Structure 1
Protein backbone atom coordinates (compact mmCIF):
# COMPACT_ATOMS: atom_id res chain seq x y z
CA UNK A 1 0.00 0.00 0.00
CA UNK A 2 1.21 3.47 -0.71
CA UNK A 3 0.60 6.62 1.20
CA UNK A 4 -0.24 9.18 -1.48
CA UNK A 5 -2.49 11.46 0.56
CA UNK A 6 -2.91 13.96 -2.25
CA UNK A 7 0.61 15.37 -2.25
CA UNK A 8 1.15 14.85 1.47
CA UNK A 9 2.57 18.31 2.12
CA UNK A 10 1.44 20.60 4.93
CA UNK A 11 -0.67 22.95 2.77
CA UNK A 12 -2.46 20.01 1.18
CA UNK A 13 -3.08 18.44 4.58
CA UNK A 14 -4.36 21.66 6.16
CA UNK A 15 -6.47 22.37 3.06
CA UNK A 16 -8.08 18.94 3.13
CA UNK A 17 -8.70 19.22 6.87
CA UNK A 18 -10.35 22.65 6.52
CA UNK A 19 -12.40 21.52 3.51
CA UNK A 20 -13.39 18.28 5.21
CA UNK A 21 -14.60 19.86 8.44
CA UNK A 22 -16.48 22.61 6.61
CA UNK A 23 -18.17 20.19 4.21
CA UNK A 24 -19.05 17.84 7.04
CA UNK A 25 -20.70 20.59 9.11
CA UNK A 26 -22.46 22.08 6.08
CA UNK A 27 -23.57 18.66 4.83
CA UNK A 28 -24.92 17.45 8.16
CA UNK A 29 -26.73 20.75 8.61
CA UNK A 30 -28.28 20.40 5.16
CA UNK A 31 -29.60 16.90 5.87
CA UNK A 32 -31.74 17.89 8.85
CA UNK A 33 -30.57 14.74 10.64
CA UNK A 34 -29.78 16.70 13.85
CA UNK A 35 -32.77 18.46 15.40
CA UNK A 36 -32.62 22.26 15.29
CA UNK A 37 -29.36 22.26 13.29
CA UNK A 38 -29.44 23.59 9.73
CA UNK A 39 -26.88 24.43 7.09
CA UNK A 40 -26.95 28.07 8.22
CA UNK A 41 -25.58 26.96 11.60
CA UNK A 42 -22.33 26.11 9.82
CA UNK A 43 -21.86 29.74 8.71
CA UNK A 44 -19.18 30.59 11.28
CA UNK A 45 -17.17 27.50 10.48
CA UNK A 46 -17.67 28.09 6.75
CA UNK A 47 -16.47 31.70 7.05
CA UNK A 48 -13.34 31.16 9.13
CA UNK A 49 -12.24 27.56 8.56
CA UNK A 50 -13.65 27.05 5.08
CA UNK A 51 -13.21 30.62 3.90
CA UNK A 52 -10.22 32.28 5.49
CA UNK A 53 -8.15 29.16 6.16
CA UNK A 54 -8.64 27.68 2.69
CA UNK A 55 -7.94 31.02 1.04
CA UNK A 56 -4.68 31.45 3.01
CA UNK A 57 -3.68 27.85 2.29
CA UNK A 58 -4.34 28.55 -1.38
CA UNK A 59 -2.11 31.63 -1.31
CA UNK A 60 0.66 29.65 0.40
CA UNK A 61 0.38 26.87 -2.18
CA UNK A 62 0.52 29.40 -5.02
CA UNK A 63 3.59 30.99 -3.44
CA UNK A 64 5.21 27.54 -3.24
CA UNK A 65 4.57 27.05 -6.96
CA UNK A 66 1.60 24.67 -6.74
CA UNK A 67 -0.75 26.32 -9.22
CA UNK A 68 -3.44 23.63 -9.20
CA UNK A 69 -3.63 23.21 -5.43
CA UNK A 70 -3.33 26.96 -4.85
CA UNK A 71 -6.10 27.76 -7.29
CA UNK A 72 -8.36 25.07 -5.80
CA UNK A 73 -7.95 26.17 -2.19
CA UNK A 74 -8.11 29.91 -2.89
CA UNK A 75 -11.28 29.48 -4.98
CA UNK A 76 -12.88 27.18 -2.41
CA UNK A 77 -11.95 29.67 0.31
CA UNK A 78 -13.70 32.43 -1.64
CA UNK A 79 -16.76 30.20 -2.03
CA UNK A 80 -17.01 29.33 1.66
CA UNK A 81 -16.34 32.89 2.80
CA UNK A 82 -19.03 34.21 0.46
CA UNK A 83 -21.50 31.54 1.56
CA UNK A 84 -20.69 31.95 5.26
CA UNK A 85 -21.08 35.72 5.27
CA UNK A 86 -24.17 35.67 3.05
CA UNK A 87 -26.24 33.20 5.13
CA UNK A 88 -29.35 34.81 6.52
CA UNK A 89 -29.43 37.64 4.01
CA UNK A 90 -32.74 38.43 2.42
CA UNK A 91 -31.80 36.73 -0.85
CA UNK A 92 -34.30 34.50 -2.59
CA UNK A 93 -34.14 30.73 -2.85
CA UNK A 94 -33.58 31.21 -6.57
CA UNK A 95 -30.53 33.39 -5.91
CA UNK A 96 -29.17 30.77 -3.50
CA UNK A 97 -29.78 28.04 -6.07
CA UNK A 98 -28.02 30.01 -8.79
CA UNK A 99 -25.08 30.70 -6.44
CA UNK A 100 -24.74 26.99 -5.67
CA UNK A 101 -24.96 26.01 -9.35
CA UNK A 102 -22.29 28.53 -10.31
CA UNK A 103 -20.00 27.17 -7.63
CA UNK A 104 -20.80 23.65 -8.81
CA UNK A 105 -19.05 24.68 -12.02
CA UNK A 106 -15.93 25.42 -9.96
CA UNK A 107 -16.17 21.98 -8.37
CA UNK A 108 -16.54 20.41 -11.82
CA UNK A 109 -13.43 22.27 -13.00
CA UNK A 110 -11.51 21.08 -9.93
CA UNK A 111 -12.69 17.50 -10.55
CA UNK A 112 -11.46 17.54 -14.13
CA UNK A 113 -8.21 19.29 -13.26
CA UNK A 114 -7.31 16.91 -10.44
CA UNK A 115 -6.84 13.86 -12.65
CA UNK A 116 -3.20 13.58 -11.62
CA UNK A 117 -4.11 13.29 -7.95
CA UNK A 118 -5.80 9.93 -8.47
CA UNK A 119 -9.27 8.73 -7.69
CA UNK A 120 -9.14 9.93 -4.09
CA UNK A 121 -8.38 13.54 -4.99
CA UNK A 122 -10.87 13.54 -7.84
CA UNK A 123 -13.44 11.85 -5.64
CA UNK A 124 -13.57 14.67 -3.09
CA UNK A 125 -14.07 17.31 -5.77
CA UNK A 126 -16.48 15.09 -7.70
CA UNK A 127 -18.63 14.58 -4.61
CA UNK A 128 -18.50 18.33 -3.95
CA UNK A 129 -19.75 18.91 -7.50
CA UNK A 130 -22.66 16.48 -7.06
CA UNK A 131 -23.53 18.00 -3.67
CA UNK A 132 -23.59 21.57 -5.00
CA UNK A 133 -25.55 20.49 -8.07
CA UNK A 134 -28.21 18.76 -5.95
CA UNK A 135 -28.38 21.62 -3.46
CA UNK A 136 -28.62 24.21 -6.23
CA UNK A 137 -31.34 22.38 -8.14
CA UNK A 138 -33.15 21.68 -4.88
CA UNK A 139 -33.13 25.39 -3.99
CA UNK A 140 -34.31 26.43 -7.45
CA UNK A 141 -37.06 23.79 -7.54
CA UNK A 142 -38.02 24.28 -3.87
CA UNK A 143 -37.38 20.56 -3.37
CA UNK A 144 -36.15 19.78 0.15
CA UNK A 145 -35.52 16.13 -0.80
CA UNK A 146 -32.85 17.16 -3.31
CA UNK A 147 -31.39 19.52 -0.71
CA UNK A 148 -31.15 16.70 1.84
CA UNK A 149 -29.58 14.38 -0.73
CA UNK A 150 -27.06 17.11 -1.54
CA UNK A 151 -26.35 17.46 2.17
CA UNK A 152 -25.58 13.75 2.48
CA UNK A 153 -23.25 13.89 -0.53
CA UNK A 154 -21.51 16.95 0.99
CA UNK A 155 -21.10 15.08 4.29
CA UNK A 156 -19.53 12.11 2.49
CA UNK A 157 -17.20 14.48 0.60
CA UNK A 158 -16.30 16.07 3.93
CA UNK A 159 -15.50 12.69 5.45
CA UNK A 160 -13.34 11.81 2.44
CA UNK A 161 -11.39 15.10 2.64
CA UNK A 162 -11.02 14.72 6.41
CA UNK A 163 -9.74 11.15 5.96
CA UNK A 164 -7.22 12.36 3.37
CA UNK A 165 -5.83 14.92 5.82
CA UNK A 166 -5.81 12.45 8.70
CA UNK A 167 -4.14 9.82 6.52
CA UNK A 168 -1.39 12.28 5.58
CA UNK A 169 -0.69 13.12 9.22
CA UNK A 170 -1.01 9.55 10.53
CA UNK A 171 0.73 7.85 7.62
CA UNK A 172 -2.35 5.84 6.63
CA UNK A 173 -2.87 4.66 3.06
CA UNK A 174 -5.27 6.36 0.67
CA UNK A 175 -4.84 3.99 -2.28
CA UNK A 176 -3.41 0.67 -3.30
CA UNK A 177 -0.24 0.81 -5.36
CA UNK A 178 -0.44 -0.98 -8.70
CA UNK A 179 2.34 -3.38 -7.74
CA UNK A 180 0.59 -4.26 -4.47
CA UNK A 181 -2.56 -5.35 -6.29
CA UNK A 182 -0.61 -7.57 -8.63
CA UNK A 183 1.35 -9.09 -5.74
CA UNK A 184 -1.83 -9.66 -3.73
CA UNK A 185 -3.48 -11.37 -6.70
CA UNK A 186 -0.61 -13.90 -7.03
Structure 2
Protein backbone atom coordinates (compact mmCIF):
# COMPACT_ATOMS: atom_id res chain seq x y z
CA UNK A 1 0.00 0.00 0.00
CA UNK A 2 1.30 3.42 -0.89
CA UNK A 3 0.46 4.97 2.48
CA UNK A 4 2.41 2.46 4.60
CA UNK A 5 5.23 4.01 6.55
CA UNK A 6 8.02 2.76 8.72
CA UNK A 7 6.97 1.30 12.01
CA UNK A 8 9.65 2.20 14.47
CA UNK A 9 7.63 0.32 17.11
CA UNK A 10 8.69 -2.87 18.68
CA UNK A 11 5.99 -5.40 17.94
CA UNK A 12 6.79 -7.49 21.00
CA UNK A 13 3.88 -8.66 23.08
CA UNK A 14 5.27 -6.94 26.18
CA UNK A 15 5.50 -3.59 24.38
CA UNK A 16 1.97 -3.83 23.02
CA UNK A 17 0.55 -4.94 26.38
CA UNK A 18 2.50 -2.21 28.16
CA UNK A 19 1.22 0.47 25.83
CA UNK A 20 -2.36 -0.74 26.23
CA UNK A 21 -2.00 -0.71 30.03
CA UNK A 22 -0.48 2.77 29.89
CA UNK A 23 -3.25 3.95 27.56
CA UNK A 24 -6.11 2.73 29.73
CA UNK A 25 -4.55 4.18 32.86
CA UNK A 26 -3.79 7.55 31.29
CA UNK A 27 -7.29 7.76 29.86
CA UNK A 28 -8.95 6.95 33.21
CA UNK A 29 -6.63 9.31 35.10
CA UNK A 30 -6.98 12.12 32.55
CA UNK A 31 -10.74 11.87 32.17
CA UNK A 32 -11.05 11.98 35.95
CA UNK A 33 -9.05 15.19 36.20
CA UNK A 34 -10.70 16.71 33.12
CA UNK A 35 -14.07 16.23 34.83
CA UNK A 36 -15.68 15.02 31.59
CA UNK A 37 -18.03 12.40 33.00
CA UNK A 38 -20.48 13.63 35.61
CA UNK A 39 -19.67 12.17 39.01
CA UNK A 40 -16.32 10.66 37.93
CA UNK A 41 -13.17 12.17 39.39
CA UNK A 42 -9.48 11.33 39.35
CA UNK A 43 -10.00 9.47 42.63
CA UNK A 44 -12.23 7.04 40.74
CA UNK A 45 -9.24 6.03 38.61
CA UNK A 46 -7.42 4.61 41.62
CA UNK A 47 -8.32 0.95 40.99
CA UNK A 48 -7.32 1.24 37.32
CA UNK A 49 -4.08 2.98 38.31
CA UNK A 50 -3.32 0.35 40.96
CA UNK A 51 -3.88 -2.83 38.99
CA UNK A 52 -3.53 -1.90 35.33
CA UNK A 53 -1.15 1.03 35.58
CA UNK A 54 0.79 -0.23 38.56
CA UNK A 55 0.88 -4.00 38.48
CA UNK A 56 0.25 -4.85 34.80
CA UNK A 57 2.47 -2.07 33.46
CA UNK A 58 5.27 -2.98 35.86
CA UNK A 59 5.07 -6.65 34.81
CA UNK A 60 5.05 -5.64 31.13
CA UNK A 61 8.23 -3.68 31.86
CA UNK A 62 9.88 -6.76 33.36
CA UNK A 63 8.97 -8.76 30.26
CA UNK A 64 10.35 -5.97 28.06
CA UNK A 65 13.64 -6.20 29.98
CA UNK A 66 13.59 -9.96 29.37
CA UNK A 67 13.23 -9.19 25.66
CA UNK A 68 16.29 -6.87 25.91
CA UNK A 69 14.08 -3.81 25.33
CA UNK A 70 15.71 -1.45 27.80
CA UNK A 71 13.81 1.67 26.75
CA UNK A 72 10.30 0.23 27.08
CA UNK A 73 11.31 -1.83 30.11
CA UNK A 74 12.55 1.27 31.89
CA UNK A 75 9.52 3.30 30.88
CA UNK A 76 6.95 0.71 31.89
CA UNK A 77 8.62 -0.16 35.21
CA UNK A 78 9.16 3.49 36.20
CA UNK A 79 5.68 4.65 35.19
CA UNK A 80 4.17 1.49 36.70
CA UNK A 81 5.84 2.39 40.00
CA UNK A 82 4.33 5.89 39.72
CA UNK A 83 0.82 4.55 39.20
CA UNK A 84 1.17 2.02 41.99
CA UNK A 85 2.46 4.65 44.43
CA UNK A 86 -0.25 7.12 43.43
CA UNK A 87 -2.95 4.47 43.90
CA UNK A 88 -1.82 3.17 47.28
CA UNK A 89 -1.37 6.67 48.67
CA UNK A 90 -4.69 8.01 47.35
CA UNK A 91 -6.48 7.59 50.69
CA UNK A 92 -3.76 9.33 52.67
CA UNK A 93 -4.07 12.98 53.54
CA UNK A 94 -1.05 14.82 52.15
CA UNK A 95 -0.49 18.50 51.68
CA UNK A 96 -0.98 20.06 48.27
CA UNK A 97 2.74 20.87 48.22
CA UNK A 98 3.65 17.23 48.90
CA UNK A 99 1.31 16.06 46.12
CA UNK A 100 2.76 18.68 43.77
CA UNK A 101 6.30 17.58 44.58
CA UNK A 102 5.37 13.94 43.93
CA UNK A 103 3.96 14.89 40.53
CA UNK A 104 7.05 16.97 39.67
CA UNK A 105 9.39 14.12 40.57
CA UNK A 106 7.54 11.82 38.22
CA UNK A 107 7.52 14.54 35.59
CA UNK A 108 11.32 14.21 35.65
CA UNK A 109 10.95 10.53 34.76
CA UNK A 110 8.55 11.44 31.95
CA UNK A 111 11.11 14.00 30.73
CA UNK A 112 13.84 11.35 30.69
CA UNK A 113 11.58 8.99 28.75
CA UNK A 114 10.62 11.74 26.30
CA UNK A 115 14.18 12.66 25.38
CA UNK A 116 15.60 9.12 25.49
CA UNK A 117 14.72 8.39 21.90
CA UNK A 118 12.64 5.50 20.78
CA UNK A 119 9.81 5.78 18.33
CA UNK A 120 7.75 8.91 17.69
CA UNK A 121 4.62 7.58 19.37
CA UNK A 122 6.45 6.70 22.60
CA UNK A 123 8.06 10.14 22.66
CA UNK A 124 4.67 11.73 22.00
CA UNK A 125 3.03 9.71 24.78
CA UNK A 126 5.68 10.55 27.35
CA UNK A 127 5.89 14.18 26.21
CA UNK A 128 2.15 14.69 26.67
CA UNK A 129 2.30 12.87 30.01
CA UNK A 130 5.15 15.20 31.04
CA UNK A 131 3.03 18.26 30.28
CA UNK A 132 0.08 16.71 32.17
CA UNK A 133 2.22 16.03 35.24
CA UNK A 134 3.72 19.52 35.26
CA UNK A 135 0.29 21.15 34.91
CA UNK A 136 -1.16 18.92 37.64
CA UNK A 137 1.78 19.70 39.93
CA UNK A 138 1.38 23.44 39.39
CA UNK A 139 -2.36 23.12 39.98
CA UNK A 140 -1.65 21.46 43.34
CA UNK A 141 0.89 24.12 44.34
CA UNK A 142 -1.48 26.92 43.28
CA UNK A 143 -4.78 25.29 44.26
CA UNK A 144 -6.08 25.82 40.73
CA UNK A 145 -8.74 23.31 39.63
CA UNK A 146 -8.93 24.78 36.11
CA UNK A 147 -5.26 24.03 35.54
CA UNK A 148 -5.86 20.46 36.78
CA UNK A 149 -8.55 20.04 34.11
CA UNK A 150 -6.12 21.16 31.41
CA UNK A 151 -3.57 18.70 32.79
CA UNK A 152 -6.24 16.02 32.64
CA UNK A 153 -6.79 16.70 28.96
CA UNK A 154 -3.05 16.33 28.29
CA UNK A 155 -3.19 12.96 30.08
CA UNK A 156 -6.15 11.98 27.88
CA UNK A 157 -4.15 12.94 24.78
CA UNK A 158 -1.18 10.89 26.04
CA UNK A 159 -3.49 7.93 26.60
CA UNK A 160 -4.89 8.26 23.09
CA UNK A 161 -1.38 8.25 21.59
CA UNK A 162 -0.40 5.19 23.68
CA UNK A 163 -3.60 3.43 22.60
CA UNK A 164 -2.91 4.23 18.94
CA UNK A 165 0.68 2.96 19.25
CA UNK A 166 -0.47 -0.40 20.64
CA UNK A 167 -3.36 -0.77 18.24
CA UNK A 168 -1.21 0.25 15.27
CA UNK A 169 1.33 -2.44 16.09
CA UNK A 170 -1.44 -5.04 16.29
CA UNK A 171 -3.33 -3.85 13.20
CA UNK A 172 -0.27 -2.95 11.09
CA UNK A 173 -1.30 0.69 10.83
CA UNK A 174 1.18 3.47 10.05
CA UNK A 175 3.17 4.50 13.09
CA UNK A 176 5.78 6.99 11.94
CA UNK A 177 5.57 10.24 10.10
CA UNK A 178 7.36 10.21 6.74
CA UNK A 179 10.46 12.31 6.46
CA UNK A 180 11.99 11.71 9.87
CA UNK A 181 14.86 9.59 8.67
CA UNK A 182 12.71 6.56 8.00
CA UNK A 183 11.99 5.13 4.61
CA UNK A 184 8.40 5.44 3.49
CA UNK A 185 7.27 3.16 0.78
CA UNK A 186 5.56 -0.01 -0.24
CA UNK A 187 5.40 -2.90 2.17
CA UNK A 188 6.89 -1.17 5.17
CA UNK A 189 4.30 -1.42 7.94
CA UNK A 190 4.13 -1.75 11.69
CA UNK A 191 5.32 -5.07 13.03
CA UNK A 192 3.32 -7.08 15.45
TM-score greater than 0.5 by the shorter chain: yes
Partner of 1:164: 165
Match of 2:40 among 37, 59, 65: 37
Partner of 1:175: 176
The offset of 1:160, in angstroms, is: 0.7
Could you say what the CA RMSD is over the residues aligned between the two structures, in angstroms? 1.4
The offset of 1:88, in angstroms, is: 2.3
Partner of 2:73: 70
* Whole-angstrom CA distance in 2 between matches of 1:120 and 1:14: 15
Partner of 2:100: 97
1:26 lines up with 2:32 in the alignment: no
Partner of 2:58: 55
CA contact (8 A) 1:14 1:57 kept: yes
Q: What pairs with 1:58-137 in structure 2 (closer than 5 Å)?
A: 58-113=61-116, 115-117=117-119, 119-137=120-138
Q: How many pairs align?
A: 179
Alpha-carbon distance change, 161 to 126 in structure 1, aligned in 2, over 3 angstroms: same
* Whole-angstrom CA distance in 2 between matches of 1:6 and 1:144: 36
The offset of 1:5, in angstroms, is: 5.9
CA contact (8 A) 1:72 1:110 kept: yes
* Whole-angstrom CA distance in 1 between matches of 2:139 and 2:44: 19
* Whole-angstrom CA distance in 1 between matches of 2:118 and 2:60: 20
CA contact (8 A) 1:97 1:140 kept: yes
Structure 1 unaligned runs (5+)?
182-186
Alpha-carbon distance change, 180 to 9 in structure 1, aligned in 2, over 3 angstroms: same
Structure 2 unaligned runs (5+)?
186-192
Q: Larger helix proportion, structure 1 or 2? A: 1
* Whole-angstrom CA distance in 1 between matches of 2:63 and 2:146: 39
SS class of match (1:46):
helix
The offset of 1:2, in angstroms, is: 2.3
Partner of 1:184: none
SS class of match (2:118):
helix
SS class of match (1:116):
coil
The Cα offsets for residues 85-141 of structure 1, whole Å up to 9 and x where unpaired, read as 11121111211111101100000000011x232x22211110000000000110111
CA contact (8 A) 2:71 2:118 kept: no
Using the size of structure 1 for normalisation, the TM-score is 0.91
* Whole-angstrom CA distance in 2 between matches of 1:164 and 1:83: 25
